[in-house]
Structure 1
């Protein structure tokens, strides 16, 4: 039951830029003293004699260069973060910060600097003997080679970090991971909602967004209190003191002494939405990226078209009839959780694109083709939502496009031939 909670906490640590460098610093201090263990063995008989000057020179070079490289890497990463926030959307910042390659590179540089400082101090104080000096020399050469390889790989990575294509890819991967988790557990490992909402309402104590629901805690409390909990606010929902988080329904209708404090505590509320358990947030971020690209200041329809293709891939993933490995069996039979609504997800994904791209013919055409492809899927909910948004997008294009040929291209892409023929013929008659 602690697996999901541990995953949530681990992801929060990954979002902190200092966690990995601190861990590697502690590891590098330990590695610097590992060589001392060789002095207590008989390795001195077989190891060659290593000059103190050669080790000191190598460690001095590493110590002086690693701090400069680490500082340079931090400045480059900050520039990449600013670029991602300015060109894409500020909501993508957390994904760029948690980039493993950048964190690993920074950790390697800082760790190598700490290792060289500790090792050179120990060498100058004659802490190591013959075998220890040889092991220290081998470790120094290995770390030096690791730094070179990491730096070369990191230069290639930092050249792409913060760019529009990389940011969209990161948002897509985070959203796809959240969708897969929800596909495997549509009700968060609870059971579908089957109770009427006439129980005790539990309100939020803080203002923010629901980031995580501790289903295990709700299940344990419900079993002890002999009640059922109906979740009303899924991860991503806005919470305020007048907003209902859940309903508590007692097994016995006569019970009135229910303390629902534990229910409110099971809802993790923070100041921002997170990608982990909120697939709709990823769709919103992608929509924001497309909306900014379609603004008059940017005027980049190609990015909006790229986002539309990304959304089609995500909804195609969502329309899979059965996830790989099958759905997880309900573990929390006393917690009822509603499933995600396809209409709400389409509203998050396509409303802004249809509104801002209604007057851009290439975006409107691509949007109609994308919605047509989703409407052809075997999922009835997706088909209904796609058809609705296709009609709505075409209405927006009718109001935004003034050239009949552009509107004809959009109508052809969305199979609105009859309505478009009438509108074109009437407009041609008026012009004559």
Structure 2
């Protein structure tokens, strides 16, 4: 590499640092250079690295952004959401994903997301589907509720025809959302659009499982903190001849996962051999579709920024990635977590919750403190006012339209501040503004 080539990243980085300074963002040049050096080194060698000290592994770029400081906390929640191996039948590999897997840069993750590879050995595809149906049902019934957790929702299967459920039309092809009681009964009672009864059987849904996902709310009484914990499953069928078939038709890549147990390396290695050679391009393309959605339709610059960071770090736009990753550590981004946690409280207020009211009240107090520490002036006063109304309703366990209106108003006010924060900073950097403009021009 020539001297000119060596100086280019530093020159570009200085422009980034200058832009950050004008916005009042403290970008640590030494830390940024360390990350750029590490990601440059990661271009050599294999895609997957193992941290033998911590017993974790993942894609080399993902591992650069994970801080093992809270590893025991994530593993503890992992014991709740994970599926157990069954020798000779079911083998698994559990990973953190999303913002939880980027804890080194995302100081205020919105949720606690997991991703689990579940490989089922069976004689036939249909047998594998029925094994999946059984282990999912067992998981749901064994983790329905406890002192520090509550199962909220399960996605399993797809509707084969239009139905009306809970007074709403659900179109054919939509993922099926199940309650615990429906899973216990192994069926959903709905109606056809013409008013005739429609019954969806759990066992029949298993034959085309599609999107498999479970969502809990978990509580940490010591921290006075709630979190949404989800487990997205990537289920495969292994035939007697060793052929691997994804049950949803697509084997997911591994570019944003940190696997929590080194013991699962063998099953991970076996499965990722079958990941498409175009997986990185496909992954980036999917992220760009989501960026387009959050920039032009369901406006959310915070979610767009998270996806832009992953795109930039995987496609060589490292200086842009350095700038975006610094935004996640700014105090105002705690509001993204506040926005998510208001929804979490809402999930519990509508349920026969096993999580104590004291824990909910402590979380409400923490939200108010977070806003006070992050903002000032009229923005702070307005959001705190909404949160105080929520806390008052929570203390009296109010539900119904009044509660829903308060939740919607508080979340709208918070996401407005989040959007303004990310928009102003993302568009202040010419290269990122050009990137954003490209999506918005396409949708005019």
Does the pair score TM above 0.5? no
More helix by share: 1
**Which TM-score tier does this pair reach, normalised by the shorter chain?**
under 0.3
More strand by share: 2
**Higher-RCO chain (CA-CA 8 Å, sequence separation at least 6):** 2
* Structure label with greater radius of gyration: 1
- Relative to the length of structure 2, the TM-score reads 0.23
